[in-house]
Every structure is written in structure tokens, then in C-alpha cells.
A = this chain, B = another copy of it.
Amino acid sequence: MNPVVIHDPTLRDGQHAVRHQLTAAALRRYAEAADAARIPVVEVGHGNGLGASSLQVGLAAVTDDEMLATVRDALRHSRMGVFMLPGWGTSADLQRAVERGADVVRIGVHATETSLAERHLGVLREAGVEAQCVLMMSHMASPEELAEHAARAVGYGAQAVGIMDSAGHFLPPDVTARIAAMAKAVGTVPVIFHGHNNLGMAVANSVAAADAGARIIDGCARGFGAGAGNTQLEVLVPVLERSGFATGIDLYALLDAADLAERELMPAPPIPTSMSIVSGLAGVFSGFKHRVVELAAAAGVDPRDVFFELGRRQAIAGQEDLIVDVVAQLSTNAHGKDK
């Protein structure tokens, strides 16, 4: 059995599903349950990571400092992870997180923007914590590009490097090609895979990743996360075990943690809805959904057409203005047809 390290961002990526409103008490209870299941890494934070809590993207119910203190106190066996997007968070946020006991720190960058992580990875290496780098929206880059950027991240000091299927677009063969190329490029450095379930493929993609050489796999209790949700952790673990990978996690305690998460963290577990299926097919971040639906309705165009056109234009997070353009174009086209 090859070992795989399970990384659990329930208390960070899951926050997107509840507008970052998890309470300190809820963070503590889930962290204790995850710790009892011996989940290796429990990640916590605002959905967009350290320093992101703001009026613009949403104020979290709890400050970064309180989140870290709460989860640190709850963990006996698990290591604590945090996430940061350069620009949203700064080196000062990283230093504070390390002082508050973060063991594993991930820097997230767009698939082909590894250079943005260089300085932060250096800071983390000096601080003596595990420095990881994840490439987001990775379906927008080829296996070769991802391999090149993975090698660059390792050159900057990353001790693990991987990809997020941020739009939930991948099918297993897509994952196999990318992870294999990256694993080959970085040798013994562990490769990370983080899935989303827009096409019902998060668990299957994660197994494909492990088969192709990934050694750190992410999953969230009940798939807690935005839109169609993340890889369902308590499904992922026994399926990996059956597929020949050792996680070291206690199954019953893991199921208990997932039951607690369903009861205490979320209004309802995520499922692939029609709009999240479309965003996955189009390869567009599902966080665009509310604006797409709103603007499409106002203009009388089909929001599904908007998603597919955004996909053709390769829209990424931060480019929400493109929605306005696309809706206007589709509205003009429809108007033209009516004449």
C-alpha cells in the first residue's frame, strides 16, 4: 500500500458555502473530530485564505487569529494547515499564522503564475514550516505547462506542489495526464490534487491522481464547499484504501466527523445542480454563478449560454466584469434574431 497524505480543507474551502460564517465553537468541534480520526492535516481559515476577510469578499464570523488559536487548541495529532492567495494575504499574515502554530502553509496561484508565490515560499522555508504551492484553475494549462510551473515552485522552495480543479472541469484522463507530468518533473517532491465535484467526478479524479503519483489528496467532510462541493472526504478515504493507498485514518471516526460536519457546519450537503454542472462543463469558476444568474435574468438571456461563452473567453476569478460584456453580447444577438 502506497501512503497518501489526506489534507482536509473543510474549515477553509467549506467556508465558501456559508459565506465564511463558521463560528469558533463549530471550528473547534469539527477540528476535534478530525483529530480523533487522525486526519493528517486540518486546514482552517476564511474561504479565500489568510487576510481575505473583508467587506469586498465577505467578512468572516471569526478573525484569522481566533480561527488559528481555536483549531490549534483542538488538535492533538493532526497538523494545522492554512491557505493564502498572494495579494489577498501578505507575508505579514504568513508570519502571524506561523507564530500561531500553522504547520503546513499553502500558497495558491493561478496555474501559470507561479512567480507570484516565490517570495512567500521563501518566507515559509525560513520560518521552518512546510511550504506548499497549489496551481488553481489548472484545466486552463497543459500538462507540460503545469509540469514546468511545478518545477519552478520547487525551485522557489515548495516542499509539495499540486493542482486544484477549481472549476470542477476534469475527467480522470485529464487528471492522469497532468499529475503524471508534474510528478515526473518534480521527482520525489509530493504532488497535490484538490478536486471539485461539478461533474460528479471528484472521488474518481482523486483516485486517478493517486494512481498517477499524487501523494497529497484533499477532501472535505460531506464535500462541504461552494457550488457542487469538494471531494467528499469520508468517501475518498475508504475508496483510496480499497484502491491500494494507505491513509492511516480511522474510518468510523472519520464517518463520525462527517456526520458532525453535516449537522453543525452546513445547511445541507452540496450536490451538483444544473448551474454547477454547466460551470464545470464550461470550465468557469462556480463563484461566478450569482452574478451570472442575476445579470442574465435582467437581460433575458440564458445563464447557461453565459457560462459557456465565459468558458470560451477563459474567464478567471477577478474578471467578473466579463460577465457584463458576455450578457450584453448575447442579449444583442438574441435581439438581432428577434427582428
Report which A residues bind B (CB closer than 8 A).
Answer: 171-172, 197, 199-204, 207, 222-223, 232, 234-236, 238-239, 242-243, 252, 255-256, 258-259, 262, 268-269, 271-274, 277-278, 281, 302, 304
Contacts and interface: CB of A to CB of B under 8 A. Distances in A.
A199 B274 contact: no
B199 A272 contact: no
Contact of A234 (B234, B239, B277): B277
Chain B CB within 10 Å — which of A200, A201, A207, A302 has the most?
A: A200
Given A200-B232, A239-B200, A278 B255 contact: yes
Contacts of A304: 252, 255
A20 to B, nearest CB: 23
A236 B277 CA distance: 10
Contact of A199 (B171, B238, B255, B268): B238
A171 B242 contact: yes
Nearest to A276: B235
A241 to B, nearest CB: 9
Nearest to A269: B271
Contact of A235 (B172, B200, B223): B200
A274 B197 CA distance: 18
